[in-house]
Amino acid sequence: MDRALGSSVVSAATQQGGFSPGVAARLVTSTGRRAFLKAVGSSLNPDTPTLFRNEIAAMQGLAAHSLPHTPFLYDVYDDGDWVGMLMEDIDGYLPPHPWHPQDATRVLDALEELTAALQPSPWPDAPVAAVCTATCKAQWTCRRCRTM
């Protein structure tokens, strides 16, 4: 993945937290370029490589659009077991759990903007994730779920 960055990696800072096992690291190259690397193998969690493949497909679909809330996907690695993605490193942080209302509002507002900007969908066969179930209601307090 060094060739995708155009220079060699000189530092890597592991990022704590997240939603899946595996590597999550912020990288800096010899030219000062920054990137974010995520990688996982089936030995860490047999379901996560498929989730990463779905994320890659979504990011590739978004690549044709110029959207403010989506990092650029530089490169992908998939050997059938390990899946990795190298993307633009954007400023941000992992929200605390449970989320603060301002973090949830920022995410929901961004999703509304993306929904409006992505008509028609760049990934028409995407798995449906916008259904608020009883499990969702039990784990999240969000403005959409409160109205159901």
Torsion angle, alpha carbons of 17, 22, 75, 10, to 10: 80
Which pLDDT score is estimated for 18? 73
Q: How many CA atoms lie within 13 A of 60 on its CB side?
A: 12
**pTM for the predicted model, two decimal places:** 0.75
CB neighbours of 84 closer than 8 A, spacing ≥ 6?
A: 1, 23, 37, 38, 39, 40, 52, 76, 77, 78
Query: Among 73-77, 122-126, 137-141, whose mean pLDDT is lowest?
Result: 137-141
Where b means 16+ CB within 10 Å and e means fewer, 120-141 reads: eebeeeeeeeeeeeeeeeeeee
Query: Among 69-73, 74-78, 132-136, whose mean pLDDT is lowest?
Result: 132-136
- For the stretch 35-75, pLDDT in tens is 999 999 999 999 999 999 999 988 888 877 777 778 899 99
Q: How many CA atoms lie within 13 A of 45 on its CB side?
A: 13
Helix (H) or strand (E) holding 36: strand 34-40
- The position carrying tokens 């929200």 is 95
